[in-house]
Amino acid sequence: MPTHTLTVNGKQVTVDVEDDVRLLWVLRDLLGITGPKYGCGINVCKACTCHINGKAFNPCSVRVADVKPDDEITTIEGLPATVGADLHPMQQAWLERDVAQCGYCQPGQIMAAVAKVRQAREAGHEVGDADIDEIRNICRCGTYARIREAIKDGAKNM
Amino acid sequence: MEQRRSPRSGPSGSDSPPDPAGPDLGRRRFLGYLLAAPTLAAAAHLGGSLAAPRHAGAAIPSAPEVQEVFDLNDLLTLATKPTANLIAVVLNPDGTASFDMPRAESGQGVTTMAAMLIAEELELPLDKINVTLADARPELVFNQFTAGSNTAISMYNPIRVAAAIARKQLLKAAAIQLGDTVTALTPHLGFIEAADGRRIGYGELAELAAAQKTEQVEVELKERSQFRIVGTPQNRIDALDAVTGRKTFAMDLDVPGALPTMICRPPTIKGTPASVANLDAVRQLPGVTDVVPIATGVAVRARTFGQCIDAVNALDVAWNPGTVDGESDDTVLAKLKEAELPLAVPPLKPLTGVVEGEFTFYWRNNAALEPNTAVADVRADRAEIWAPLQSPILCQEQVAAQLGLPLNAVTVHVMQAGGAFGRRMFNDVVLEATEASKKMGKPVKLMWHRTDECRQGRMHPMCTSRIRATYAAGNVLTFEQRHTSVATDYTQGFGEIITSLGAKIPPLGQGNELGFSVPVFHLTVNVPYNFGAVTQLLNEVYTYDTFPTSSVRNLVNPDVRTAQELIVDQLAAKMGKDPYTFRREFVDDDRVRAVLDKAAEVGQWGREMEPGTAQAITVHKEYKGATATLIEIDCRPETVNRRVRNAVTGPRVTKAVMAVDTGLPINPRGLEAQMQGGIMDGIAQTLTSSLHLRDGTLLEGSWDDYFYTRHWNAPLETTIIVMPPTTGEPGGAGEFGVPSAMAAVACAYARATGTIPTSFPINHGTLSFTPKATVPPLPPSPTNGLEFAF
């Protein structure tokens, strides 16, 4: 069985698993990192959204063999450390707006929101409604109104 | 008139002795218990008095099969213990209080509500209260069932009584310690304080205040005017866990040996496996440990879920037909139309105007985002289960029956649910996990793939609603509604086995329709307007178990009320009145009128709108409360035709304003969240989300073709107005937001386009996706995820 070396939340880990197992299952089932959630397995619900080298992606649709040892994988568990704080400003905004209901999609929503704010800035503007409309993360509780507010709040402190 | 979602009746609080001091004090004086325990434990009855008759008895058909599956005597013995039906607040030596709640938390906020009620009566800070979900407690019988937005209504008094008894006992213990009288002491934020500034913490008193023997005590609750926490906006007690990824769901559990397990399922609804050609070959696939046929398919256990998916798709299974292989949307619709009960009032009468309409509501999936998941560890002499459950007692009873084990050999742990919406009233996933664990001889963590949820999960029954209203001389004379629906499965009963079996009574599950569907319909529906002679009737087609059905965040009212409100707008137009003014004139309840006025005011009813856009306003009355929703919709071509990859766009709800009166809002911030969620469901159900049935298969297979509301469909502006307390008693919230929201979106669409929609969602007639294959059953996992990184 092949051995894979990964960098997850700033730590290097090795795992013995077949090349084609998707990264989500390596994180969840083998490494016990359960913040990224399963919701579809085909990259449409976005509940597993994490970051690779600072960009949002969905590990349900990436083979473990396609991740390089020096790719920085960040899950919700590692997000606060990227800003050297107990909580990322986006998580803080989520708390202040009391966004979560069941909470299942929220790690993915937060990871997507952080990337969306950065993407907007790289394009030369602050995140707005049109950007938020592009976020594909589904919330079956229907927390979209508070997510919209929280993203704008969180962006101000990023 | 009170409206209840569940036919359960009877007082929701604890025993209230007659009181000579007057009615107000009488309403606040209750009986509860001090329990013999190592630390202070105070309790109250849940669901009425021991002395009261068992209130479910009359409504439930007799159940001849009970003893075949379950020893009724065991259950009744448990139910008649003096401590049956008690819920307890326990004080801990570290100064915290604990409450093990016999309800499901699925995001609706009931754990936060419970903590607030305890904090209020116990005078303890909110963050010192730990609310956990109780394991199945069979002695609670009918009282551990989460459904019908009933939790606040049923738990409000019992939780407060238990906490108030604890406070009273702490005062007594502190009086001894401080050498003072109880009346001279004040409980404050976890301390009992004396006038001279001396104080003693609850933690120090936890053991001193413990009771030596269990005894009944009387207690007086706070007056509402003294509330400091109830009625104030509070954040969820689990919010930090949710945003850090620490909140633990069943699929996150690390139960030793419980490896990922999935099921290979049939291509048509409720098909069954006939034979498997390549069991041994699939057992050799990477990561796979076990492959066994079970009743509903073929179970695969592997090191990772990814390897389960690959193995499921590698299985070569011959399938028996399902229950509805010949059925499609059009065959079901034909049966519904045939079964429609006749209207009584003729359509043509001299000097009388008539408004008529017939509306079709297609299937809706009720899966939450967290798929069905259960961990099962079945041994020879016992079983242990972990799952998010709305009916944990029934679950325990069903697992015991399935394994032939005594009830007390089965432990059922209730996990926090990643959404529920009615789906978790049914224990299918637990029974599959139990069967798989038993056959494999190993613990399993069984999870449904999303595609399983879409194609073999439960759904809101397809239904039609026909309405005829007549009017003359400025009055509505008659309003008739005939609702015809595919049978709803009520075999969850009231969350335990007696009523569950009652629903299955032959012939053809008549217990289901006569014992549940019809009474629930009549206990929940109404026409909230003074419309003269009103009749509403339900007829069901098929038997309860032909299609896998369930409520989906409410059962009949989103559709029943949407049909009504579309007719109300037409009545207003025919009678030459503005939709808001017309409703204002005809609503039959002052609370409904108040929310209607508030929504109209805040939503700026009547403001000038661009062509192709419109406002609508509707009301709803249920769950001891009232809502009104104002919607603005944009149906202009440039909006309708906007493009989002692999998605449905269509009309956009640009603004939603809802006013809600629940009688007594316990946590306005949580209530607001529930209403916001209800609006998103209403938008989805009117505009985008349905299942298509074709030859016994549901065509939708994931979130990219089952179009629940997404960010690009959500309103840009959502405002919820929580009305100040009216009745002073809490009402329901979880399902409450959907009906008026769904109706208002439909009415706004009609006003913006000039076309009254008659089937829902409005896009059902156009299949806007290529259905995924049914064999192999699961869509392959993509490998191109990095191409979409942003």
The CATH number given to whatever domain includes residue A43 is 3.10.20.30
Tell me which H or E stretch contains B451: helix B450-456
pLDDT at B140: 81
Residue B436 near residue B293, CB atoms below 8 Å = no
Q: What are phi and psi of B375, to 5 degrees?
A: -100, 130
Find the mean pLDDT for residues B168-187.
Answer: 95
B653: Cβ contacts below 8 Å, ≥ 6 apart:
B631, B632, B633, B634, B683, B687, B713, B714, B715, B745, B748
Pick the last residue of a domain from B238, B267, B299.
B238
CB contact under 8 A, A39 and B450: yes
How far apart CA B202 and CA B192 sit, in angstroms, is 7
How far apart CA B764 and CA B756 sit, in angstroms, is 15
B154: Cβ contacts below 8 Å, ≥ 6 apart:
B12, B46, B47, B143
Distance from CA of A30 to the nearest CA of B (A): 7
Q: Which residue of B has its CA nearest to A30?
A: B304
How far apart CA B37 and CA B48 sit, in angstroms, is 24
Q: Around Cβ B110, how many Cβ atoms within 10 Å?
A: 24
Residue A23 near residue A8, CB atoms below 8 Å = no
B624: Cβ contacts below 8 Å, ≥ 6 apart:
B2, B3, B153, B662, B663, B727, B729, B730, B731, B732
Tell me which H or E stretch contains B677: helix B668-683
Distance from CA of A14 to the nearest CA of B (A): 16
Q: Which domain holds residue B338?
A: 329-364+459-760
Distance from CA of A75 to the nearest CA of B (A): 9
Strand partners, B698: B693
- Supply the DSSP symbol for B436: H
Q: Which residue of A has its CA nearest to B302?
A: A29
pLDDT at B26: 66
How far apart CA B199 and CA B598 sit, in angstroms, is 47
Q: Which residue of A has its CA nearest to B704?
A: A44
By residue count, chain A amounts to: 158
Check whether residue B262 and residue B190 sit in a common domain: no
Find the mean pLDDT for residues B339-362.
Answer: 90
Check whether residue A33 and residue A61 sit in a common domain: yes
**Band (B59; pLDDT cuts 50, 70, 90):** very low
Strand partners, B372: none
Q: In this structure, is residue B381 part of a structural domain?
A: yes
- Supply the DSSP symbol for B681: H
Q: In this structure, is residue B199 part of a structural domain?
A: yes
> Is residue B16's pLDDT more than 50?
no
pLDDT at B767: 95
Pick the last residue of a domain from B205, B238, B271.
B238
Q: Which domain holds residue A133?
A: 83-156
Check whether residue A105 and residue A148 sit in a common domain: yes
Check whether residue B521 and residue B647 sit in a common domain: yes
Q: Which residue of A has its CA nearest to B772?
A: A42
For residue A137, give Cα distances in angstroms to A45, A53, A61, B38: 5, 20, 15, 48
pLDDT at B517: 83
Check whether residue B353 and residue B392 sit in a common domain: no
CB contact under 8 A, A41 and B303: no
Q: What are phi and psi of B319, to 5 degrees?
A: -110, 145
Pick the last residue of a domain from B238, B271, B292.
B238
Q: What pTM did the predictor assign?
A: 0.93
CB contact under 8 A, A136 and B238: no
Check whether residue A59 and residue A123 sit in a common domain: no
How far apart CA A83 and CA A92 sit, in angstroms, is 12
Which residues in chain B are contacts of A29 at CB distance < 8 A? Answer: 260, 303-306
Q: What are phi and psi of B26, to 5 degrees?
A: -55, -40
If one compares B499 and B176, the residue with the highest pLDDT of the two is: B176
- Give 10-residue mean pLDDT values along chain A (158 residues): 97 98 98 98 98 98 98 98 98 98 98 98 98 98 98 98
Residue B735 near residue B678, CB atoms below 8 Å = yes
For residue B177, give Cα distances in angstroms to A55, A86, B166, B187, B199: 61, 41, 17, 14, 10
Check whether residue A22 and residue A52 sit in a common domain: yes
Which residues in chain A are contacts of B688 at CB distance < 8 A? Answer: none
CATH number at residue A87: 1.10.150.120
Distance from CA of A99 to the nearest CA of B (A): 8
pLDDT at B452: 98
Q: In this structure, is residue B255 part of a structural domain?
A: yes
Check whether residue B56 and residue B159 sit in a common domain: yes
Read off the pLDDT of residues B455-467 as tens digits, 9 standing for 90 and up: 999 999 999 999 9
CB contact under 8 A, A29 and B246: no
Distance of CA B130 to the CA centre of its chain: 23
How far apart CA B11 and CA B44 sit, in angstroms, is 14
CB contact under 8 A, A26 and B714: no
Check whether residue A69 and residue A88 sit in a common domain: no
Q: Which of A98, A129, A147 sits opposite B669 (nearest CB)?
A: A98
Check whether residue A98 and residue A145 sit in a common domain: yes
Read off the pLDDT of residues B93-113 as tens digits, 9 standing for 90 and up: 999 999 999 999 999 999 999
Check whether residue A57 and residue A93 sit in a common domain: no
How far apart CA B357 and CA B365 sit, in angstroms, is 25
Task: Output the six-digit token pair for B429.
Answer: 């996933």
**Band (B6; pLDDT cuts 50, 70, 90):** very low
Alpha-helical runs (H) found in chain A: 23-25, 89-96, 106-122, 129-132, 144-156
Check whether residue B588 and residue B733 sit in a common domain: yes
Task: Output the six-digit token pair for A132.
Answer: 């938020």
Q: What are phi and psi of B48, to 5 degrees?
A: 95, 175
**Band (B81; pLDDT cuts 50, 70, 90):** low
Q: Which of B245, B703, B781 sits opposite A75 (nearest CB)?
A: B245
What is residue A31's three-state secondary structure?
Answer: coil
Distance from CA of A68 to the nearest CA of B (A): 12
Q: Which of A20, A99, A133 sits opposite B712 (nearest CB)?
A: A133
Read off the pLDDT of residues B752-784 as tens digits, 9 standing for 90 and up: 999 999 999 999 999 999 999 999 999 999 999
CB contact under 8 A, A136 and B711: yes
Check whether residue B312 and residue B423 sit in a common domain: yes
Q: In this structure, is residue B5 part of a structural domain?
A: no
**Band (B84; pLDDT cuts 50, 70, 90):** low
Residue B227 near residue B117, CB atoms below 8 Å = no
For residue B746, give Cα distances in angstroms to B180, B303, B651, B789: 65, 48, 11, 37
Distance from CA of A47 to the nearest CA of B (A): 8
Compute the CA torsion angle B247, B252, B255, B258 (nearest 10 deg).
160
Pick the last residue of a domain from A74, A95, A112.
A74
- Supply the DSSP symbol for B337: H
% of chain B residues with pLDDT over 70: 90
- Lowest-pLDDT range, B52-66, B87-101, B591-605? B52-66
Q: In this structure, is residue B8 part of a structural domain?
A: no
Number of domains in chain A: 2
Strand partners, B681: none
Check whether residue B429 and residue B578 sit in a common domain: no
DSSP per residue, B38-71: SS-EEEEESSS-SSS--TTTTTS---TTHHHHS-
Q: In this structure, is residue B659 part of a structural domain?
A: yes
CB contact under 8 A, A42 and B781: yes
Number of domains in chain B: 3
Average per-residue pLDDT for chain B? 90
Check whether residue B409 and residue B515 sit in a common domain: no
Which residues in chain A are contacts of B789 at CB distance < 8 A? Answer: 52, 55-57
Read off the pLDDT of residues B702-745 as tens digits, 9 standing for 90 and up: 999 999 999 999 999 999 999 999 999 999 888 999 999 999 99
B36: Cβ contacts below 8 Å, ≥ 6 apart:
B210, B211, B212, B213, B214
CB contact under 8 A, B714 and A104: no
How far apart CA B390 and CA B136 sit, in angstroms, is 10
Check whether residue B299 and residue B351 sit in a common domain: no
> Is residue B490's pLDDT more than 80?
yes
Q: Which of B239, B251, B710 sits opposite A38 (nearest CB)?
A: B251
Distance from CA of B777 to the nearest CA of A (A): 13
Q: How many contacts (CB atoms, under 8 Å) link A and B?
A: 239
Question: For the purposes of burial, counting CB atoms within 10 Å of the CB of A156, is it exposed (0-12), middle (13-18) or buried (19 or more)?
Answer: exposed
Cis peptide, bond prior to residue B256, ω within 30 of zero: no
Check whether residue A53 and residue A98 sit in a common domain: no
Q: In this structure, is residue B60 part of a structural domain?
A: yes
Q: How far apart are the first and last CA of chain A?
A: 42
Task: Output the six-digit token pair for B170.
Answer: 């702490």
Read off the pLDDT of residues B198-252 as tens digits, 9 standing for 90 and up: 999 999 999 999 999 999 999 999 999 999 999 999 999 999 999 999 999 999 9
Q: Which of A59, A106, A145 sits opposite B242 (nearest CB)?
A: A106
pLDDT at B373: 98
Which residues in chain A are contacts of B243 at CB distance < 8 A? Answer: 76, 87, 91, 94-95, 99-100, 103, 106-107, 110
Find the mean pLDDT for residues B556-585.
Answer: 97
pLDDT at B24: 57
Q: What are phi and psi of B432, to 5 degrees?
A: -65, -45
B478: Cβ contacts below 8 Å, ≥ 6 apart:
B345, B468, B469, B470, B531, B532, B533, B534
If one compares B50 and B706, the residue with the highest pLDDT of the two is: B706
Q: Which residue of A has its CA nearest to B258?
A: A29
Residue to substitute from B127, B133, B243, interface A, most A β-carbons within 10 A: B243
Strand partners, B541: B486
Residue B118 near residue B101, CB atoms below 8 Å = no
Pick the last residue of a domain from A28, A44, A74.
A74
- Helices A144-156 and A89-96: crossing angle in degrees, nearest 10, is 130
Strand partners, B43: B33, B88
B22: Cβ contacts below 8 Å, ≥ 6 apart:
none
Q: Which residue of A has its CA nearest to B106?
A: A102
Q: Which of A32, A61, A105 sits opposite B369 (nearest CB)?
A: A105
Angle at B785 between CA B783 and CA B790, to 5 degrees: 165
- Helices B668-683 and A144-156: crossing angle in degrees, nearest 10, is 120
Residue B421 near residue B429, CB atoms below 8 Å = no
Residue A106 near residue B240, CB atoms below 8 Å = no
Residue to substitute from A1, A18, A24, A42, interface B, most B β-carbons within 10 A: A42
> Is residue B438's pLDDT more than 90?
yes
**Band (B518; pLDDT cuts 50, 70, 90):** confident
Which residues in chain A are contacts of B255 at CB distance < 8 A? Answer: none
Pick the last residue of a domain from A49, A74, A99.
A74
Q: Which of B177-181, B215-219, B266-270 has the highest mean pLDDT?
A: B266-270
pLDDT at B627: 98
CB contact under 8 A, A95 and B715: no
Q: Which residue of A has its CA nearest to B785?
A: A61
Distance from CA of B463 to the nearest CA of A (A): 23
Check whether residue A49 and residue A106 sit in a common domain: no
pLDDT at B79: 56
B576: Cβ contacts below 8 Å, ≥ 6 apart:
none
> Is residue B374's pLDDT more than 60?
yes
CB contact under 8 A, B244 and A35: yes
Q: In this structure, is residue B14 part of a structural domain?
A: no
ipTM, interface predicted TM-score of the complex = 0.98
CATH number at residue B267: 3.30.365.10
CB contact under 8 A, A45 and B714: no
DSSP per residue, B62-113: --TTHHHHS-HHHHHHHHHSTTTTEEEEEE-TTS-EEEEESS--SSS-HHHH
Check whether residue B653 and residue B727 sit in a common domain: yes
Q: Which residue of A has its CA nearest to B789?
A: A57
For residue A89, give Cα distances in angstroms to A107, A138, B330: 14, 22, 52
Q: Which of A41, A43, A100 sits opposite B243 (nearest CB)?
A: A100
pLDDT at B509: 64
Read off the pLDDT of residues B376-394 as tens digits, 9 standing for 90 and up: 999 999 999 999 999 999 9
Check whether residue A11 and residue A62 sit in a common domain: yes
CB contact under 8 A, B243 and A94: yes
Query: What Rg, from alpha-carbon coordinates, does chain B have?
Result: 27
Distance from CA of A111 to the nearest CA of B (A): 10
What is residue B581's three-state secondary structure?
Answer: helix
pLDDT at B505: 65
Check whether residue B635 and residue B654 sit in a common domain: yes
Check whether residue B221 and residue B295 sit in a common domain: no
Residue B296 near residue B457, CB atoms below 8 Å = no
Check whether residue A110 and residue A57 sit in a common domain: no
Task: Output the six-digit token pair for B593.
Answer: 């009128």
Task: Output the six-digit token pair for B649.
Answer: 């766009």
> Is residue B52's pLDDT more than 60?
no
What is residue B446's three-state secondary structure?
Answer: strand
Distance from CA of A45 to the nearest CA of B (A): 6
Distance of CA B402 to the CA centre of its chain: 26
Q: Among all chains, which residue has been given the structure tokens 């259905």?
A: B771
Check whether residue A48 and residue A109 sit in a common domain: no
